């Protein structure tokens, strides 16, 4: 599935994606296998991919697209509502952790399912000529696309920037300051409401810093520094016979991105309770995340607060892997054991590769620039405006840096991926599905991103 670098706590939950009720319902009761995680790289059984292919084929050939779309929406709304209720719960710490981990598992299980289904649909639609190309698929999908929270966020910024221009015609980007904004009470209040709504923006996989007023004002300044944009409107014209197909693809595209937003919001809102848990174990919040949910709950249950850490705890903080053994227990591996499996499972790209092909997720002019490889939130400090963002895949915490990028390239994903959706919203050229971009390209490499033909070329080395 590509590399999704994250702490132990969420990584272990992802390995159990198949055990959730949401996946059992979405898969019509089919039994899927646990995933294996090795240093951020997730692997699933080929047989699971085949099962989803057969499921999709049955849905389409039996004219069940509309009913299956309704089922996915029903599951998605249910896991969303259950997870969003958690921060409002008034219960003891043990009860809170139980609810948080259980609902998080249901959302991420469904998220994993829609990730796999989205990839299968992308290939299926091209194979069966429902679309002539990825660009044609994007065109046909667009009228049915659903707006995610992180598509609303930049639109609200645009509206606030327009309001500022109306209040102070001729204002420049460097004049947009907190003091200047405070002189416009209505706009200042809108900013506070925006920050409250998107306080989790820029966080993901249980890490990242909160969105705040200063960041919001900086976003507005960045918009002021650009030419005003006209919002595009897309009508739902076209082949009504194939409409259910595209509505289904739109639903899958929406949930595979929206699930990430849901977990980001809830986990961020849960930080005070998680910090309370960490304090009881004499840990920081960040240190807590390198324990599994089971390890945390075993140490917090009832009145027994066991602060002893697993033997390989310190090694986990560098790199770890996870698999579920025959007894259903999580096995977190590190050191030599991890490296042996990494060597077997993960192929190293040829050092001579200078050109990669992928899928055009957001078309645009050819861009040349310097690469910054972002594997996790720890790498964000490296990113500078105008750089070409190269990542295994993007998630909500990447969005503030996607806004600054001149082009985006990812290892995995298709036209329904997070990178595809956000890059199209931002109007940034994007090529996804290159498989090995994060191995081939290094920080400061000069590359050329051809977002018309889906080609990324190295034109210079650091």
Q: Which CATH class is domain 355-460?
A: alpha beta
Question: What pTM, to 2 d.p., does this model score?
Answer: 0.89
Which among 313, 320, 319, 322 has a CA at the least distance from the CA of 291? 313
Q: How far is the C-alpha of 143 from the C-alpha of 235, rounded, in Å?
A: 6
pLDDT, residue 240, reads 41
pLDDT at position 228: 56
Residue 247 has a pLDDT of 95
CA–CA separation, 295 vs 45, rounded Å? 27
Domain(s) of CATH 3.50.30.10: residues in the chain: 355-460
Instruction: Select from 30, 37, 81 the least CA-distant residue to 59.
Output: 30
Distance CA 67, CA 455 (A): 38
How far is Cα 234 from Cα 227, in angstroms, rounded to an integer?
A: 22
Q: Which distant-in-sequence residues (6+ apart) come within 8 Å of 152 by Cβ?
A: none
Q: How many residues are given for the chain?
A: 462
How is residue 48 written in tokens? 């699971």
Of 246, 236, 203, nearest to 395 (Cα)?
Answer: 203
Distance CA 190, CA 204 (A): 25
pLDDT (tens, 9 = 90+) of the chain, 462 residues, equals: 778 889 999 999 999 999 999 999 999 999 999 999 999 889 999 999 999 999 999 999 999 999 999 999 999 999 999 999 999 999 999 999 999 999 999 999 999 999 999 989 988 888 888 888 878 888 888 899 899 998 899 999 999 999 999 999 999 999 999 999 999 999 999 999 999 999 999 898 899 899 999 999 999 999 998 765 544 444 444 444 468 999 999 999 999 999 999 999 999 999 999 999 999 888 999 999 999 999 999 888 755 555 678 999 999 988 999 999 989 899 999 999 999 999 998 887 777 888 999 999 999 999 999 999 998 778 888 999 999 999 998 988 888 899 999 999 999 888 888 899 889 888 999 999 998 899 899 999 999 999 999 999 999 876
**Could you give the CA distance from residue 260 to residue 6 in angstroms, rounded to a whole number?**
13
**Phi–psi pair at 167, nearest 5 degrees:** -70, -35
- Candidates 397, 427, 445, 396; CA nearest to 408 is 427
Supply the pLDDT for residue 241: 40
- Strands 430-432 and 330-333, bridge-based pairing: unpaired
């Amino acid at each position: 599935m590509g590399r999704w670098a994250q702490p132990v706590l969420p990584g272990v939950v992802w390995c159990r994606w198949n055990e959730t009720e949401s996946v059992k319902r979405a898969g019509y009761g089919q039994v899927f296998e646990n995933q294996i995680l090795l240093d951020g790289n997730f692997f699933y059984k080929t047989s699971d991919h085949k099962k989803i292919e057969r499921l999709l084929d049955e849905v389409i050939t039996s004219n069940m697209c509309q009913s299956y779309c309704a089922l996915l929406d029903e599951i998605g709304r249910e896991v969303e509502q259950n997870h969003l209720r958690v921060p409002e719960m008034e219960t003891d710490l043990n009860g809170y952790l139980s609810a948080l981990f259980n609902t998080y598992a249901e959302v991420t299980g469904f998220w994993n399912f829609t990730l796999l289904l989205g990839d299968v649909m992308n290939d299926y639609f091209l194979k069966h000529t429902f679309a002539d190309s990825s660009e044609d698929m994007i065109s046909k999908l667009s009228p049915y696309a659903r707006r995610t929270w992180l598509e609303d966020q930049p639109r609200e910024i645009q509206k606030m920037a327009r309001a500022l221009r109306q209040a102070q015609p001729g204002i420049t980007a460097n004049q947009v300051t907190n003091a200047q904004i405070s002189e416009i009470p209505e706009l200042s209040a809108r900013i506070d409401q925006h920050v409250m709504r998107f306080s989790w923006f820029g966080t993901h996989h249980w890490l990242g810093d909160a969105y705040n007023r200063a960041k919001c004002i900086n976003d507005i300044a960045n918009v002021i520094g650009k030419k005003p944009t006209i919002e595009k409107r897309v009508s739902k014209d076209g082949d009504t016979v194939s409409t259910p197909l595209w509505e289904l693809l739109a639903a899958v595209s929406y949930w595979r991105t929206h699930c990430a937003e849901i977990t980001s919001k809830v986990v961020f809102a849960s930080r005070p309770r998680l910090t309370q848990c960490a304090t009881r174990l004499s840990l920081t919040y960040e240190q807590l995340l390198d324990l599994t949910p089971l390890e945390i709950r075993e140490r917090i249950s009832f009145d027994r607060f066991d602060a002893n850490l697993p033997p390989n705890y310190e090694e986990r903080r560098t790199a770890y892997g996870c698999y579920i053994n025959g007894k259903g227990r999580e096995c977190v591996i590190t050191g030599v054991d991890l490296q042996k499996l990494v060597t077997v499972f993960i192929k190293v790209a040829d050092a001579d590769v200078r050109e990669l092909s992928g899928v055009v997720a957001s078309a645009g002019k050819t861009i040349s620039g310097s690469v910054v490889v972002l594997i996790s939130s720890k790498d964000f400090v490296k990113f500078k405006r105008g750089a070409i963002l190269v990542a295994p895949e993007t998630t909500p915490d990447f969005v503030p840096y996607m806004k600054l990028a001149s082009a985006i390239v990812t290892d995995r994903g298709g036209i329904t991926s997070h990178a595809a959706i956000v890059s199209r919203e931002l109007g940034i050229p994007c090529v996804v599905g290159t498989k090995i971009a994060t191995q081939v390209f290094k920080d400061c490499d000069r590359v050329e991103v051809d977002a018309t033909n889906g080609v990324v070329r190295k034109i210079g080395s650091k």
